[in-house]
Structure 1
Amino acid sequence: MDKYNAEGYPDPTAAEAIENVMRDERAKTYKPCVFICSPFAGDTLRNLKKAREYLLFAVEQGTIPFAPHLLYPQVLDDSDPEQRKLGQFFGMVWLRKCDELWVFGGYISKGMQVEIDKALKHRIPIRYFNENCKEVQQI
Structure 2
Amino acid sequence: MLKGKRAYICSPLSAKTREERMFNMGLAKAYLDTIREVFHCRTYASHAYLPLMLDDTIPEERKLALSIGKQLLDFCDVLIICGGRISSGMEGEIRYAHDTGKDVYWLEGGRDPFQLRKIKNWKEIEYAVQIPENHISE
For normalisation by structure 1, the TM-score amounts to: 0.73
- Give the Cα–Cα distance (whole angstroms) in 2 for the partners of residues 121 and 41 of structure 1: 23
* Higher helix fraction (1 or 2): 1
Deviation by residue 1:67-92 (Cα, 9 ceiling, x = unmatched): 11012112112111001101100110
The CA deviation at 1:134 is 2.6
Alignment counterpart, residue 113 of structure 1, candidates 91, 102, 110: 91
2:81 alignment partner in structure 1: 103
Matched positions, count: 110
For normalisation by structure 2, the TM-score amounts to: 0.73
- Give the Cα–Cα distance (whole angstroms) in 2 for the partners of residues 49 and 130 of structure 1: 18
Deviation by residue 1:47-86 (Cα, 9 ceiling, x = unmatched): 1222122111122021111011012112112111001101
The CA deviation at 1:122 is 0.4
1:56 alignment partner in structure 2: 33
2:29 is aligned with what amino acid?
R
Identity percentage of aligned residues: 32
Alignment of 1:116-135 (within 5 A): 116-130=94-108, 134-135=114-115
Matched, 1:32 2:10: no
- Unaligned ranges ≥5, structure 2: 120-138
- Unaligned ranges ≥5, structure 1: 1-29
After superposition, the CA RMSD in angstroms is: 1.7
2:31 is aligned with what amino acid?
Y
